[in-house]
Amino acid sequence: MTYGPATTTSTSAAAGRTVDLKDVFARLDQPWQPKVVARLNDYDIKCARLEGAFVWHDHPDTDELFIVMNGSLTIHLHTSDIALGPGQLYVVPRGFQHCPVADGIVHTLLIEPRGTVDTGTETNERTYDPDD
Ligand code: NI
């Protein structure tokens, strides 16, 4: 039985400690370079600053969750455009081509399996590996 934070057995980078998202976002000065702030089992919890348009891509093996904290984000799909504001979330179904476009600066939380490539099936100049 464990009576406190299981910091010695958990694989989570943030298990047992408080993460202040406001501070994390304040320090994020580069767009489209998500920072892993915690791990939940095999999932990364990431903070990302988005600015302008990303690139069209898809993730064939995983859904992708966007939680908008600040700003206005449009996720373009081939079938529709999803407009998100603060406090709203959207899950892009696996295999769906999408292109996120931030109106100004947008702060988002992303939750996705560890190792998910931000640009999906292709790697290019926009690809960013938060573990590098
Ligand atoms: Ni994506």
Give 30 Cα–ligand 1 centroid separation in angstroms. 18
* pTM for the full predicted model: 0.82
Report the CATH number that the domain containing residue 61 is assigned in CATH: 2.60.120.10
Give 73 Cα–ligand 1 centroid separation in angstroms. 13
Is 22 inside a domain boundary?
no
Alpha-carbon gap, residue 29 to 33, rounded angstroms: 9
Is 42 inside a domain boundary?
yes
Q: Which domain holds residue 47?
A: 30-113
Domain count, the chain: 1
Give 3 Cα–ligand 1 centroid separation in angstroms. 38
Q: What residues have CB less than 8 Å from 128, skipping those under 6 apart?
A: 32, 33, 34, 118
Is 108 inside a domain boundary?
yes
Give 95 Cα–ligand 1 centroid separation in angstroms. 10
What 3-state class would DSSP assign to 22? helix
Is 64 inside a domain boundary?
yes
Is 50 inside a domain boundary?
yes
* 7-51: pLDDT as tens digits: 444 555 677 789 999 999 999 999 999 999 999 999 999 999 999
Give 120 Cα–ligand 1 centroid separation in angstroms. 6
Is 131 inside a domain boundary?
no
